[in-house]
Structure formats: C-alpha cells, structure tokens
Amino acid sequence: MAMKGAIVVDRERCKGCGVCIVNCPAKVIGLTKEVNSKGYPMSYMANPEECTGCTNCATVCPDSVITVYRVKV
Amino acid sequence: MDVKDIIKPENKVYGKCPVLTERVLHYCPGCSHGTIHKLLAEVIQEMGIQDKTIAISPVGCAVFAYNYIDIDWQQAPHGRAAALATGAKRICPDKYVFTYQGDGDLSAIGTAETIHACNRGENIVIILVNNAIYGMTGGQMSPLTLEGQVTSTTPYGRDIALNGYPLKITNLIAQLDGTCYVTRQSVQNAAAVRKTKKAIRKAFENSAQKKGTSFIEVVSSCNSGWKLSPVDANKWMEDNMFPFYELGDLKDK
Ligand SMILES: Cc1ncc(C[n+]2csc(CCOP(=O)(O)OP(=O)(O)O)c2C)c(N)n1
Ligand code: SF4
Ligand code: SF4
Ligand code: SF4
Ligand SMILES: [Mg+2]
C-alpha cells in the first residue's frame, strides 16, 4: 500500500537551516525566496506530490517546526 | 489526492513534542543542541516522567536549556553539573536526574566533577554534546578539538606539540566501574536521531533500575564556530569527527 504525505512548516519559527532538505529522501522540500520576520528563508513543499509522510524532515529539524501528516492510498 | 485532504488532525504522524515549551530556541540555525533537546523531551513524554525529572543545565550555549524543556531544572556553575546532579539525585532518589553539558563544560573545567560522579556510580544520566569547540564564547579550542582543527585560539590548527592531544573523555569514562552504559551517538540524519533517542531512553531506564551512571556523548556540529553552513557542518562532522570519535556503544552492562 502506498503512502501519501504532507508537511506543515511553522514559518515564523523556521530558521532556514536546510537540514530537512538534505534529509528528505523524496526531494520534496525547498526554501522560500521570501524571509520571515527574523530574516530567515523558510522550508516548504516545493514538490508536494512526492511526499510520503516518512517524517525524516521533522525528525531532524532542530527547531521542531515541521508537522507531518500521512494517509494510506 | 489534494494536500488539504491529507492535512487533517486524524492523519498527523509527527509534530512538536508537548514537553517542549513554546519558546523559540536561541540556538543558531541547524545547531545540534535543538535536536538533542527535542529527543530528551520526547523520551520524557513517552516515559510519562515530566513531573519526575530534574535536569542540570551547563555554562555554554545550552545555559538556557531550562527555557525549552518543561521540567524542573537547576543551572550549574561552569563544569559543576555532575556535582549538582549528585545532590539532586541523593535528595530526591525517586526522580530522574540528568545533566546536559558541552565538551568545554564537561571535559575542561568539569573533568573532576564528571569523573568522580561516574566513578561513584551516581544513578544519573550525563549528556555530553561534543561539538569540539567552545561554541558560546566564540569558537575557542576545547580539550575535544581535533588535531589540526582550526578554532579562534588555534588559527593554524590544533598543534599536538603545543596544545596536547584531543581527549577521548568518553573512553575514559567507560573504564570507570560506576558507569553502566556509555555510548557515542549523533543527530545529523533521521536514522542517527532515532538511535540517539533509543540510547537516551535506555539511559533513563538504567537510572530507574539503579544500575549506575549512564553517559551519552552526542557528536555534534557547531556550524557558527566552525564557520560552515549547517549542512556543510554536518558533512564536516561525518568526515572529520566520526573517524576519531567512533560511534557506538563503549559499554553496556
Ligand atoms: C568559571 C568560568 N570560566 C569560563 C567561562 C567562559 N565560558 C562560557 S561558556 C564556555 C565554554 C562553552 O563550551 P562548551 O561547554 O563546549 O559548550 P558549547 O557552547 O560549545 O555548547 C566558557 C569557557 C565561564 N562562564 N565561567
Ligand atoms: S530543519 Fe527545521 S528550521 Fe531548518 S529549514 Fe527545515 S524546517 Fe526550517
Ligand atoms: S515527510 Fe518524508 S517525504 Fe515528506 S517532506 Fe518530510 S522527509 Fe520528505
Ligand atoms: S555557537 Fe555553535 S553550539 Fe552555540 S548555538 Fe551556535 S551552532 Fe550551536
Ligand atoms: Mg562545545
């Protein structure tokens, strides 16, 4: 059974470190061009259709700003 | 399937641990400290011991750790965390007590406290965050700085003849009869994070079973001190720290 996932990023708390990006096996995540009020770019789903909800990105995020959702399809 | 059909409360599989407070971490982007805080919070939540845990924060970047994990804390003078943890545990033997310390805090000024607490076999957990540098004060050499590593006080790299050898303090600790579990872990990728979490859980369980001191070194990155991006710092850590600070259990009895 395939899994379909999605992430929600707490944009104000994201520090744009990029650690989630290199840890996503499906290359879902990118960084925004715009910055938050602290001046950091924010992670977002650049390729949302590829997300499997594996939770790797959220597991490695030092600032705990990613929430992961997953459904069976 | 549309993203909005996936993002529903019933489909949530991972999120911020409720034992973490709402405060934004003061750490630099990508700093290992945040990841390690999260794992401690998750283990405390999963074991249901939030009101039974006392932690000792260090002097170092993690001095404000008490702002982020919602448990009881004491903040120790530089290097003295193991001494405070000894006191807390002996006065409150039913609590879970852990220290959270950097390499400078634990292995320079705090060497005596650390070694003697471990040698006495205090039923505490010691977390050593080894980023091979004094992060907080501007990236000076610590005892755990690698040979050849450039820091603000070793601008040409650590020179053994001048600065001595990097100290494998964790290997020394493993020799002490008071320690029951000594391990070296890391948090740069998801598999490593999950292993470190298991190690923390085991360490807490050891203290409940009065097995002695559990000691966890987390080989970490300090991207600001190392003057690298967070992602490059993790890579540098894998390439340079892991060959010297080998990951895995040193002792498990
Ligand atoms: C008695 C005393 N000596 C020196 C200092 C200065 N000082 C503050 S933090 C620190 C070292 C921090 O390095 P580390 O323990 O590795 O923590 P990190 O910031 O790297 O996490 C030092 C020497 C101090 N605060 N108190
Ligand atoms: S790891 Fe966390 S803080 Fe860093 S870019 Fe990703 S979401 Fe933002
Ligand atoms: S949950 Fe997995 S697949 Fe989805 S963005 Fe995070 S790391 Fe990538
Ligand atoms: S100076 Fe280093 S250890 Fe301190 S918060 Fe920044 S990256 Fe982390
Ligand atoms: Mg340090």
Q: Report the C-alpha gap between A44 and A67 in whole angstroms.
A: 12
> Is the pLDDT reported for residue A17 higher than 80?
yes
Average pLDDT in chain B: 98
**What does pLDDT average to over chain A?**
97
A68 CA to chain B: closest CA distance, Å? 5
A29 touches chain B (CB under 8 A): no
pLDDT of residue B177: 98
Check CB contact of A3 with chain B, cutoff 8 Å: no
Question: B238: burial class by Cβ within 10 Å (0-12, 13-18, 19+)?
Answer: middle
> Over the Cα atoms of chain A, what is R_g?
12
How confident is the model over B32-56, as pLDDT tens digits? 999 999 999 999 999 999 999 999 9
Mean pLDDT of B73-90: 98
What is the mean predicted confidence (pLDDT) over B237-244?
98
Q: Which secondary structure element, helix H or strand E, spans residue A31, and what is its range? A: strand A29-35
Check: CB of residue B39 under 8 Å from CB of residue B187: yes
Say if residue A1's pLDDT is above 80. no
As given in the structure block, the two tokens for residue A21 are 């990006």
Q: How confident is the model at residue B224 (pLDDT cuts 50, 70, 90)?
A: very high
Q: Which CATH number fits the domain A3-72, given the four candidates 3.10.20.30, 2.130.10.10, 3.30.70.20, 3.90.550.10? A: 3.30.70.20
Render pLDDT for B93-145 as a digit per residue (tens, 0 to 9).
999 999 999 999 999 999 999 999 999 999 999 999 999 999 999 999 999 99
State which of B25, B57, B61 you would mutate to test the pocket of ligand 4, scoring each by most atoms of that ligand within 8 A of its C-beta. B61
The first and second tokens of residue B139, run together, are 């990236």
If you average pLDDT over residues B152-175, what whole number do you get? 98
Compute, in angstroms, the gap from residue A60 CA to the centroid of ligand 2: 8
Smallest CA-to-CA distance from A65 within B18, B15, B70 is with B15
- Write down the domain spans for chain B: 31-252
Q: What pLDDT score was predicted for residue B79?
A: 98
Question: Which ligand ends up closest to the CA of A45?
Answer: 3
pLDDT of B13-34, one tens digit each? 999 999 999 999 999 999 999 9
**B89-98 burial code (b ≥16 CB/10 A, e <16):** beeeeebbbb
Q: Which CATH number fits domain B31-252: 3.90.1150.10, 3.40.50.970, 3.40.120.10, 3.30.70.100?
A: 3.40.50.970
Distance CA B10, CA B83 (A): 45
* CB-based contact, A17 to chain B, within 8 Å: yes
Interface check for A70 against chain B (CB to CB < 8 A): the answer is yes
Task: For residue B75, give both structure tokens.
Answer: 């903040």
Name the one residue in this structure whose structure tokens are 């998801």. Answer: B190
- Scan residues 40-69 of A and list those with Cβ closer than 8 Å to B: 40, 45, 48, 53-56, 58-69
pLDDT at position B83 over 90: yes
The pLDDT value given to residue B244:
98
Nearest-ligand number for the alpha carbon of B241:
5
| Rounded distance between C-alpha atoms, residue B15 and residue A64, angstroms | 7
pLDDT value for B26:
98
Please tell me whether the interface predicted TM-score (ipTM) of this complex is above 0.90: yes
pLDDT at position A7 over 90: yes
Count CA atoms closer than 13 A to A5's CA, side-chain side: 27
Best of A4, A10, A17 to disrupt the B interface (most B CBs within 10 Å) is A17
Query: Residue B40, class by beta-carbon neighbours within 10 Å (0-12 exposed, 13-18 middle, 19+ buried)?
Result: buried
Q: What is the pLDDT of residue B102?
A: 98
Strand order in the sheet with B96-102: B72-75, B53-57, B96-102, B125-130, B213-219, B179-186, B248-252
Is residue B231 scored above 80 in pLDDT? yes
User: What chain A residue is nearest to B197 in terms of C-alpha separation?
Assistant: A59
Give the model's pLDDT for residue B193: 98
**Cα–Cα distance between B106 and B114 in angstroms, integer?**
7
- The whole-model pTM stands at 0.98
**Three-class SS state of A63:** coil
Give tens-digit pLDDT for A34-62. Answer: 999 999 999 999 999 999 999 999 999 99
Query: For the purposes of burial, counting CB atoms within 10 Å of the CB of A51, is it exposed (0-12), middle (13-18) or buried (19 or more)?
Result: buried
Report the pLDDT value the prediction gives residue B1, as an integer from 0 to 100.
Answer: 84
Is the CB–ligand 2 distance for residue A14 below 6 Å? Answer: yes
